[in-house]
Amino acid sequence: MEYPILYSFRRCPYAMRARMAISYSKITVELREISLKDRPKKLYEVSSKGTVPVLITENNQVIDESLNIMLWALKKNAKQTWINKEISNGEYKMIHINDTIFKKSLDKYKYHDRYPKKDKKFYRLECSKILNVYEKKLAKHKYLKYDTINIVDIAIFPFIRQFANVDYIWFEKEFKNLTVWLKKISQSNLFKSIMKKYDLWDTSKNIYVILGSET
């Protein structure tokens, strides 16, 4: 295999953070953009979960967890500054809270009509409990952990972006530090580079190859 293969969906937050780590590390991959409404059989053959992102390395190793894809990419980048050799317990804990507690409340906030037991504001408040912690951290540092960008920022960013987009005016008023942080990453060359639109993967056509780019 000449390049690693990445199955992805442009707007998926998990796929976003995987692509950001790959792009940051300047790794060339074969990008297979899929539709979540019509997932290719090949995806299920690679990973029975049928979710994205899924990476197949040059050695045919399958990595189907986005955080593990991020770590794989960073370990290939000798100049990376997002982690100190290995992800720390504190960094992992923040990402885990995002991927479990926050993500669960975020889905209910975004799709509150599907969860009529509580109103939209209730789910927003549940998310805000975690966001208030981030807001306080950003009063001390430019980013969530330090004054330089870190794996935590990139891993959490796509989900905060989704939350903010539900009611951006409210978000901007409520979380001033997070708004600055969100804009900084949203406007970065790194994020712009991984949000380019590609046609859906078609086995009869050449696969798009994307190259990593710096922030």
Structural domain includes residue 215:
no
pLDDT number for residue 215 = 39
The single residue listed with the structure tokens 């998990």 is 14
* 137 shares its domain with 109: yes
pLDDT number for residue 214 = 43
Structural domain includes residue 122:
yes
First-to-final CA distance of the chain: 28
Question: The domain spanning residue 183 has which CATH number?
Answer: 1.20.1050.10
Q: How far apart are CA 145 and CA 138, in angstroms?
A: 8
Over the chain (215 residues), the average pLDDT of each successive run of 10 is: 92 98 93 94 95 96 98 94 94 98 98 93 98 98 97 99 98 99 98 93 71 49
pLDDT number for residue 206 = 58
Distant-in-sequence, close-in-space partners of 15: CB < 8 Å, separation ≥ 6: 8, 9, 52, 53, 66
* 32 shares its domain with 48: yes
Provide the domain limits for residue 145: 89-188
Q: How far apart are CA 152 and CA 30, in angstroms?
A: 26
Question: The domain spanning residue 65 has which CATH number?
Answer: 3.40.30.10
Q: How far apart are CA 62 and CA 103, in angstroms?
A: 24
CA 1 vs. chain centroid, Å, equals 26
What total of structural domains would you count in the chain?
2
Question: 33 and 208 in contact (C-beta within 8 Å)?
Answer: yes
Q: How far apart are CA 66 and CA 52, in angstroms?
A: 8
Q: Phi then psi for 61, rounded to 5 degrees?
A: -80, 135
120, exposed or middle or buried, with CB in 10 Å at 0-12, 13-18, 19+? Answer: middle
Taking the whole predicted model, whether its pTM rises above 0.75 is answered as: yes
